Amino acid sequence: MRGLQISDPTVAEDGYQDLLTSIERKPLPSLEALRNIRRLMAVQNPKAANVKVEELIDARLIRKLDENGYMDKIAAAYGLR
């Protein structure tokens, strides 16, 4: 509440509950989202269209955390669904 300068506990709780339902449990990168960003960036800089988004992603750390159960443990601790 302090960090966001929210004085009403009800508003803070509602925002927190919204966050819990909308946050990705496992934040793996999305190729489709990166392709969309590349498309939008290419409007300003045509060289961006040549970027291979598959080469931008290195999800090894997230995958390792997921494989050893850490992601599920954190999700459970914070009540993520």
Pairwise CA distance, residues 71 & 65, whole Å: 6
Structure token digits, residue 10: 């009800």
**Tokens 């997230």 correspond to what residue?**
62
Per-residue pLDDT at 12: 93
pLDDT along the chain (81 residues), means of 10: 91 89 80 94 96 91 92 84 62
Every domain of the chain and the residues it spans = 9-77
Per-residue pLDDT at 14: 93
**Global pTM?**
0.55
Per-residue pLDDT at 24: 75
Per-residue pLDDT at 21: 80
